[in-house]
Structure 1
């Protein structure tokens, strides 16, 4: 698997553990807490693996961008977070930043 694919998967696991934090209710619920911890370990491990061949700043920025994008979108879908033009524009800027870093 190439480093960019690994990085995207790491970002997807970041979404899992970040949303898991919400559902774990401060680590007071067992299964959401387990999913959070497994997602975090997988995310960090994959990020570290991707950083073997990608620049650290680029890999970290893309990883956090994927996580921020995913949590924002799923927050609107699953958690009832506000949907408005400014929030959607911010999400668009995150996507543009990720694409720019990939092209650089």
Structure 2
């Protein structure tokens, strides 16, 4: 596996999270600047995801990108908006992390 591919995948996930935060700040695209920046970041995230797919299997890459994006967005929402995660939500995030680890170990 290309040693750069996992880094591209992690960067793609980070850009996805940043895009989600900006999308929230765009207020349904009523504020154009954060909305357009969110679109630019998600396009860049997809490009990086595509580059990582040259070396990482699709299922593993998408599970990693999606799982990290979901978990980090939930944690960021907690930090920025004060969204409270109940024990069931925390368990769900743990199951997502576990499923990504299992998928990684299968390849």
TM surpasses 0.5: yes
Q: Distance in 2 between the 1:98 and 1:20 partners?
A: 26
Which of the numbers 58, 67, 70 marks the counterpart of 1:68? 70
Q: Distance in 2 between the 1:19 and 1:101 partners?
A: 27
Q: Distance in 2 between the 1:5 and 1:103 partners?
A: 18
Q: Which residue of 2 aligns with 1:11?
A: 13
SS in 2 for 1:67: helix
Q: Which residue of 1 aligns with 2:37?
A: 35
Q: Distance in 1 between the 2:79 and 2:37 partners?
A: 20
Find out whether 1:57 has 2:42 as its counterpart.
no
Cα offset for 1:35? 2.3
Q: Which residue of 2 aligns with 1:21?
A: 23
Q: Structure 2 unaligned runs (5+)? A: none
- RMSD of aligned alpha carbons: 1.4
Relative to the length of structure 2, the TM-score reads 0.87
Q: Distance in 1 between the 2:79 and 2:92 partners?
A: 16
Q: Which residue of 2 aligns with 1:87?
A: 89
Q: Structure 1 unaligned runs (5+)? A: none
Q: Distance in 1 between the 2:10 and 2:105 partners?
A: 15
